[in-house]
Amino acid sequence: MQTIEDAIIIGSGPAGYTAALYMARADLEPLVFEGFAWGGLLQQTTDVENFPGFPQGIVGPELMQHFRDQSERFGARLETDDVTAVEFSPDASEPHKVWAGDDLHLARTVVLAMGAEHRKLGVPGEEELSGRGVSYCATCDAAFFKQAPTVIVGGGDSAMEEAIFLAKFAAKVDVIHRRDEFRASQIMLDRARQVPNIELVTPYTIDEFVAREGSSLTHAHLRNTVDDSTRELEITGAFIAIGHDPQSELVRGQVDLDDDGYVVTQGRSTLTSVPGVFAAGDLVDHTYRQAVTAAGTGCQAALDAEWYLRDAAPFSSEARAAQA
C-alpha cells in the first residue's frame, strides 16, 4: 500500500521553507517539493536589508540557503523537483494526490506556497540587465541608486509606492506609464505628484534597455504610445512595477482562486476551499508581498495543518479503525 504523507509542501520561498521548518519540528517529516529553481524571488535579489535578524544585511540566495538548511536540520525531506499535477479530494474523503512527473504521492495535508512572479515587460535588455540596473523591487534595491537618474515603469499603486520610496535615494525618478490615465488610487497619485524629484512621463512605453558602456544599464529607449515618437533617457536604474502574477496555474480548478488568480483563503486562516489544503505567501497575498510576511503565513499554514491533522485525523490508523 502506498504511503500517505502527513504533509506535502509545494514551493520553496520563505513561506514554503518556514512551513517546512514548523512541520518538521512537529515531527510531521514534511515532503517538500522545492522545485528546480528553489528559493523563490529572493534568489533574484542582491542585498536584503529588511529581513529582521540580519543587522548587516544578507544577500538573497544566502538567506534562502539558511531557510533551506534550517528546515532540513529538523527533518524536512527536500525534493528538488517540480510538481507537475495535483488532484485534491474536494471533501478530503480521499488522500490528496500530488504528481512529480510520473511519481504519485498521497498526502493528508498539502501546503501551497508557489509564490508569485514579477510581471515582465518583455523588452530587449530587460533580462540581460536584470540585477545590473534593472530591478523589480525598489523596496529592496533603491539604496543602491543614491543620486542616480532612474525610472519606474507602471501606473498602478505599486508604481507610485515604489517611486515615492525610490525618490528618497535617487536624484530623479521618471514614472513611465503607457496611458495618460493612471490605475493608481487618487491618494497615491497625489502623493507621488507632491514629491519634487518625481516626474510622471506619459503616454510612453519602454522599447529597450541599453548598456552602452560596460555591462550595466545606461539608457532606456522610450516610445510615445499615441504618436509613436521616440526619445532616449539616460538612466542607471529601472524598476519594473507592472504587477505580479501568482503562480497558481498548477492548482487552477482544484482550489478557489480570485479573479487575479490568487488562492483564496478563509478569514485570517490559511485554509483554502478544500479541507486539508492550505496556502501561504505571495500565492495568497495581494498586498504585503514581503519575505517576512510570507514566512509568517508559512508558519500559520504549518500550524493550521498541524491542528487539522490533530482534530480531523484524516486517514490516521484511528480514523481507519473507526470507519471499519
Residues near ligand NAP (CB under 6 A)? 119, 121, 154-159, 161, 178-179, 183, 205, 242-243, 286
Cα-atom radius of gyration of the chain, to the nearest Å?
22
Q: Under the phi-then-psi rule, with left for phi > 0, alpha for psi from -120 to 50, and beta for the rest, what region is 125?
A: left
Annotated active-site residue in 47, 69, 81, 140? 140
| Residue 91 or 228 having the CB closest to ligand NAP | 228
103 catalytic per annotation: no
Task: Please report how close the Cβ of residue 175 comes to ligand NAP at its closest, in angstroms.
Answer: 10
Task: Please report how close the Cβ of residue 242 comes to ligand NAP at its closest, in angstroms.
Answer: 4
Locate cell 517538500: which residue? 32
Cis peptide before 246 (omega within 30 of 0): no
Task: Please report how close the Cβ of residue 284 comes to ligand NAP at its closest, in angstroms.
Answer: 13
Task: Write the DSSP assignment of 61-93 as a string of letters.
Answer: HHHHHHHHHHHHHTT-EEE-----EEE--TTSS
Closest CB to ligand NAP belongs to which residue?
156
| Residue 104 or 187 having the CB closest to ligand NAP | 187
Locate cell 543587522: which residue? 55
| Residue 24 or 188 having the CB closest to ligand NAP | 188
Annotated active-site residue in 47, 91, 141, 260? 141
299 catalytic per annotation: no
- Residue 226 has a CB neighbour count (10 Å cut-off) of 12
| Residue 6 or 282 having the CB closest to ligand NAP | 282
DSSP state, residue 247: -
Q: Are 256 and 273 a contacting pair, CB within 8 Å?
A: yes
Task: Please report how close the Cβ of residue 142 comes to ligand NAP at its closest, in angstroms.
Answer: 15
141 catalytic per annotation: yes
Task: Please report how close the Cβ of residue 99 comes to ligand NAP at its closest, in angstroms.
Answer: 32
| Residue 115 or 154 having the CB closest to ligand NAP | 154
Cα torsion 174, 177, 179, 184 to 10°: value is: -100
Annotated active-site residue in 137, 285, 299, 304? 137
Task: Write the DSSP assignment of 248-289 as a string of letters.
Answer: -GGGBTTB-B-TTSPBP--TTS-B-SSTTEEE-GGGT-SS--
**Active-site residue set:** 137, 140-141
